[in-house]
Structure 1
């Protein structure tokens, strides 16, 4: 029998790159003429994997989020990995908006990916292992087809395909 090949489907975010993008966005906020004295601030909680934007109005908050988003994209972070919550009213007229950085594949998303792969009728085995999936098959071509299939689908978070052997 042929040796089985496999790969893992994971969803990871390089927090160092997120921190670098955060530092660049913070610097731009202090230098950009329309945001310099607006009172807008951003904060990053690396341990909690979250970002908070505080701004005097919802319009300014959206501008700050756009700045942060552009810096994340430049650093190679997929914006699907950042989930922004609703703008919450803060002291006075100001608003606060929090984003969580999604890492790992949640159980329901993993189940949906598993179901979609099984729906292709390809000869592969899928195992859910915590926050990742392992896909294995005797044929490497079949694994390539599964990767191509998954790249064409949207699961609301970025997926990476690692440990291909």
Structure 2
């Protein structure tokens, strides 16, 4: 009986953990002495986070807080795509941080090529924004996972549906 094993490579994040990280960031903004009177807001929409603050110095402080809270909650920093800083009303600045989800076609092709070149007994296939990897040996799949963890790709990768 020749059975095959597979797993999916996805790029996703836990939205509830992101909400918790943003709540912690907002609480810390309210309690920190240097940010207390800046009227800084960090708001989450469906696909983006909007930061509205007084200066670039406070924006950097908010970035540091947000990144540290996200890391503590096992969120990759690769999900944040920082937009350009815009001036807002009342001598303030604003920045939109887009949340990256899914694997683009270019990156999926790059992952497939890497797998095909280095692992001859493994078959990758692109299915939308997911790359499915199949093989007859579970050890081969585990080797692919280890190799992809070493690769520095511009998206956060997770491995799901391992069977």
The alignment's TM-score, normalised by the length of structure 2, stands at: 0.95
TM superposition outliers: structure 1 runs of 4+ over 2 Å: none
Matched, 1:17 2:7: no
Corresponding residue SS for 1:104: coil
Measure how far apart 1:92 and its partner are.
4.1
CA distance in 2, matches of 1:61, 1:150: 33
After superposition, residues 36-55 of structure 1 pair within 5 angstroms as: 36-45=36-45, 48-55=46-53
Find the aligned partners of 1:49 and 1:23 in 2 and give their Cα distance: 17
Q: Secondary structure at the match of 1:135?
A: strand
CA RMSD of aligned residues (A): 1.2
Give distance in 1, aligned partners of 2:129 and 2:58: 36
Partner of 1:119: 117
Asked if the contact 1:10/1:160 (under 8 Å) is kept, the reply is yes
Matched pairs, number:
163
Unaligned runs of 5+ in 1: none
Distance 1:64 1:140 in 2: 43
TM-score normalised according to structure 1 size = 0.93
Assess if the C-alpha contact under 8 Å between 1:53 and 1:65 holds in 2: no
Separation in 2, partners of 1:81, 1:71: 14
